[in-house]
Structure 1
Amino acid sequence: MFTRRDFLRTASVAGAAIAASDLSFAMAAPEKGRFAISLAEWSLHKALFAKQITNLDFPRLAKEEYGVTGLEYVNQFFKDKAKDTAYLSDLKKRAEGYGLKNVLIMIDGEGMLGAPDQAERTRAVENHKPWIDAAKFLGCHAIRVNAASRGEYAEQQKLAADGLRRVGEYGATQGISVIVENHGGLSSNGQWLSGVMKLVGLPGVGTLPDFGNFRVSKDEEYDRYKGVSELIPYAKGVSAKTHDFDAQGNETHTDYKKMLDIVIASKYRGFIGIEYEGSVLSEPDGIKATKALLERHLQGYL
């Protein structure tokens, strides 16, 4: 288990890494206004998995079909391209050609950063490093990771904090933030994840509060408004999750006015990402409905 000596050693390394970076880990700043709207690529996951579109089509669609200004990639859709500079150059050129900001890459499937086994945890840390390099190449400000672990509550916090700290130390050398989404298990417990942030204690490690991902287990759901309130002080991104809408265009699972009031009352400034996961509306219609909902409640802030 992590000892005080280990903590002091890694804290020293982290301090050196941060000092070596000229960046202060600012959030991706909108060109105007306090917030801007980005599109999470997962909103198009059905079309992507069906190979109706590819990751290289994402910038064009985001601009021409949805009129957003930022892109949030998902590594699953270019899994083998983290070190492919030709591919990344093409992707970057397309985004820049449409005047879009590459915001972040969501990372899945690269191992458990809070794994109890130290060797497994180290492999996960190493697996995330190429994606930090890819994010830097694309001009993103962050990668989104998961804080999965196993064991008791406090033990999982310590293990997740260790893995995140080590990824964050490398991110600091590249000027890339490492941000954690509430994404199932204890990470969907706002108190647990905010506690992990306190244990990590690095300026480049933060959160990506997701409005809808507060299912801790089959039988436990954390209060989403409480959870976002606990995570927003560490936020370097915000994920506007939607599933279903009523006839007035309101999301039926989340009170968007209440939720966005929490974001507005915080110090957060940056992109708010559309992430539509519904099945009633098509992906294009769900994305457009989410964008209209955000625009309605963020008047004067965009």
Structure 2
Amino acid sequence: MQFGFSSYSFYQHLRTNRMSLFEVIDWIGASDATHMEIATVSLSPEISNDTSTLDQDPGFVQEIKTRAADQGVTLSNLVVPADLLGADAEKSMQRVKRHIEVAAALDIKLFRHDVAKWAHRAKDIAEFEALLPRMVEACKEIAQYAAPYGITTSVENHGLLMNGGERVRRLIHLVDEPNFKTTLDVGNFMSVDDNPVVSVAENARYASIVHLKDFYVRSQYPGEGWHHTPGGTYLLGSIVGYGDLDMRRIVRGIVDAGYDGFVSIEFEGIEECLMANPIGLANAKRLFAEAEAAK
């Protein structure tokens, strides 16, 4: 298992220019982590609007590659938003393909894209099934585009349309490309009220990379800043191991599935990130060590 961070874990400081991406790489290089995945949204001032221009700045891309190599940090995954179902689906598709070329330039072998905007929600399963052929076609096209670069593409359980574990597995099987998998986020299942222990265990065998995150969970409105699920649960990001998710059983499901790849801490809580991230990393390593010892 290789433990590291998503650049998104440093979003508090990246969006305010308190840290640059190069300083994040330096921080990770000096930590006990071995890799970093680049989330393009972390290079944007707004979470909901990815305005990054990584695909238009080859000089910046080369500087990232050089800095990571100098710091001994493996670049593990490139995470790019996409809306392949909206009015600008073709424009979004071309942006995804340009970022696959960015991943290749960075020697990154894993690539995650969305299929729809986060808030896109099918009214019922019939609407999801009606959209599914378009999702399959788009994901297949991207996977086939990435294959000559030796890149594995993936869809994350992310957003209200594709957050359910069963929907992700259905998409993977229908796309039916050897280099198409899932970015497995252990916490995101909660956003559509899926049981994360069950969904992680069922989806771990299809994972190209794992996002480890934790949530505080409440049944009644606690105050501003909490995410409200369709089922009426309230979520707030926490330090890994400090929240209410059954992280031991979740990690055990990953280990029992035989997964042995990159694990990224994806911190999105309100605690100070430079305090939260090393605690989360230490907790993650301990939890996986316990799970491995119990096998």
Coarse TM-score class (shorter-chain normalised): 0.7 to 0.9
User: How far apart, in 2, do the equivalents of 1:282 and 1:150 lie?
Assistant: 32
User: How far apart, in 2, do the equivalents of 1:69 and 1:239 lie?
Assistant: 15
Instruction: Map 1:5-154; keep pairs closer than 5 Å.
Output: 35-64=1-30, 66-76=31-41, 77=43, 79-108=52-81, 111-115=82-86, 120-148=88-116, 151=122, 152-154=127-129
User: How far apart, in 2, do the equivalents of 1:81 and 1:36 lie?
Assistant: 25
1:200-235 deviation per Cα after TM superposition (whole angstroms, max 9, x unaligned): 00011110111111245xxx4111122212321211
1:168-195 deviation per Cα after TM superposition (whole angstroms, max 9, x unaligned): 1101121111111111212111111110
Which residue is 2:282 aligned to?
292
Question: In terms of mean alpha carbon deviation, does 249-258 or 90-99 score higher?
Answer: 249-258
Which residue is 1:278 aligned to?
269
Q: After TM superposition, give the deviation of residue 256 of structure 1 in Å.
A: 1.4
Instruction: Tell me the secondary structure at the aligned position of residue 299 of structure 1.
Output: helix
Q: After TM superposition, give the deviation of residue 52 of structure 1 in Å.
A: 0.5
Q: After TM superposition, give the deviation of residue 276 of structure 1 in Å.
A: 1.0
1:77-114 deviation per Cα after TM superposition (whole angstroms, max 9, x unaligned): 17212242221111111100111111011102xx4124
Instruction: Map 1:111-260; keep pairs closer than 5 Å.
Output: 111-115=82-86, 120-148=88-116, 151=122, 152-216=127-191, 220-243=192-215, 250-260=241-251
In structure 2, relative to structure 1, the CA distance for the partners of 1:289 and 1:256 (3 Å cut) is same
Task: In structure 1, give the amino acid aligned to 2:105.
Answer: F
1:51-72 deviation per Cα after TM superposition (whole angstroms, max 9, x unaligned): 10112222101112x3210011
Higher relative contact order (CA 8 A, sep 6+): 1
Instruction: Tell me the secondary structure at the aligned position of residue 214 of structure 1.
Output: helix
TM-score scaled by length of structure 1: 0.79
Task: In structure 1, give the amino acid aligned to 2:262.
Answer: F
Gaps of 5+ in 1: 1-34
User: How far apart, in 2, do the equivalents of 1:253 and 1:143 lie?
Assistant: 29
Contact 2:77 2:108 in 1 (8 A): yes
User: How far apart, in 1, do the equivalents of 2:17 and 2:61 lie?
Assistant: 19
Q: After TM superposition, give the deviation of residue 138 of structure 1 in Å.
A: 0.8
Gaps of 5+ in 2: 45-51, 217-235
User: How far apart, in 2, do the equivalents of 1:270 and 1:199 lie?
Assistant: 24
Contact 1:184 1:214 in 2 (8 A): no
Contact 1:178 1:205 in 2 (8 A): yes
Contact 1:36 1:272 in 2 (8 A): yes
User: How far apart, in 2, do the equivalents of 1:58 and 1:113 lie?
Assistant: 30
User: How far apart, in 1, do the equivalents of 2:241 and 2:168 lie?
Assistant: 28
Count of aligned pairs: 256
Contact 2:115 2:135 in 1 (8 A): yes
Q: Structure 2 residue aligned with 1:269, among 260, 267, 270?
A: 260
Root-mean-square deviation (CA, aligned residues, Å) is 2.3
TM-score scaled by length of structure 2: 0.80
Task: In structure 2, give the amino acid aligned to 1:107.
Answer: V
Contact 1:177 1:205 in 2 (8 A): yes
Task: In structure 1, give the amino acid aligned to 2:84.
Answer: L
Which residue is 1:32 aligned to?
none
Q: After TM superposition, give the deviation of residue 251 of structure 1 in Å.
A: 2.9
Contact 2:37 2:264 in 1 (8 A): yes
Contact 2:4 2:281 in 1 (8 A): no
